[in-house]
Structures are given as structure tokens and as C-alpha cells.
Amino acid sequence: MAKPVKKYIPKDSDLLIEKFISCMMIGGKKSIARGIFENAMGIIKTRTNENPLDIFNKALLNVTPLIEVRPKRVGGSVYQVPTEVPPKRQQALSIRWVVNAARDRKGMPMAQKLAMELLDASADQGNAVKKKQDVLKMAQANKAFAHLAK
């Protein structure tokens, strides 16, 4: 049986950053995605005099959902049941929401859009944080159906 291939991860990176870059990548162009991420970190460094990786981690933490709604079919009716989000899915959703919010911004290069979205998310603003708040509001509105959760 063949040995599993060990992925190459640059020395100055961690798994969360690599996951973020992979989710940002389009069409298998990882070097372009990595360049966009590095440029965004450079923009954050020039805008604020803080460590850009701290801002990145704070932004993802602010966007991370704790609860979401999932459809559950009971007797022919479909109810939106609030459930806790597992840690892996929390990470995946927060990354997806930040990347999509950055892509939805118009009129500037992707590195700049990503930097602005990360700065906004670290300050509890922006579209990614709004998405988290919308999901939380929907879960609170459907709290009556919590007893249907498994």
C-alpha cells in the first residue's frame, strides 16, 4: 500500500491560513490565492499598526456562528430547528462567509476587498458579521421548535 503524500505547508503558515487560502482559491490556482492573501495581510499592516494575523484570527472569531437552523420534517411539515454548530462547521462557515462577503464587494482588487472585509469583521461590522447575526436571529425566532432537535 502506498504511503500517504505529506502536504507541503510553508514554514510561516498554519493550518487555518492554509484552509482559508484553499477556500479562497478558484480553479486550482493556489499560488494566486496565496498571493491575494499575502497582499491583503500587507494592506492590513499598512492600514493598522497591529499584527495582521491577529486581525485575521479576530475577524474569523467574530464571524464564527454558535447556532444555526436546520430543516426537520415532522408529519408533512418542515420546521426550521435551531441546532448547535460543530467546531469544524463553525470554521468552514466563518471562512466561507468572509470570502463571499469580500467577493461581493465591488470596484477594487480582491486583495483590497479581502483586507477591508477582514478589518470590518475584526471590528464587528461588515457583511460577514451581518450574515452571522441574521443566522442568529433566525435561530432565536425558531426557538419554539428546539424540542424537535435530536
In a domain, 6, yes or no: no
* pLDDT at site 92: 95
pTM: 0.86
- Contact call for residues 18 and 6 (beta carbons, < 8 A): no
Distance between CA atoms of 87 and 94, rounded to whole angstroms?
Answer: 11
- Could you tell me which residues come within 8 angstroms of residue 20 by beta carbon, excluding any fewer than 6 positions away? 37, 56, 60, 95, 98, 99
In a domain, 30, yes or no: yes
Range of the domain at 79: 15-148
In a domain, 45, yes or no: yes
Q: Give tens-digit pLDDT for 36-61.
A: 999 999 999 999 888 999 999 999 99
The domain spanning residue 121 has which CATH number?
A: 1.10.455.10
Over range 91-96, report the average pLDDT: 95
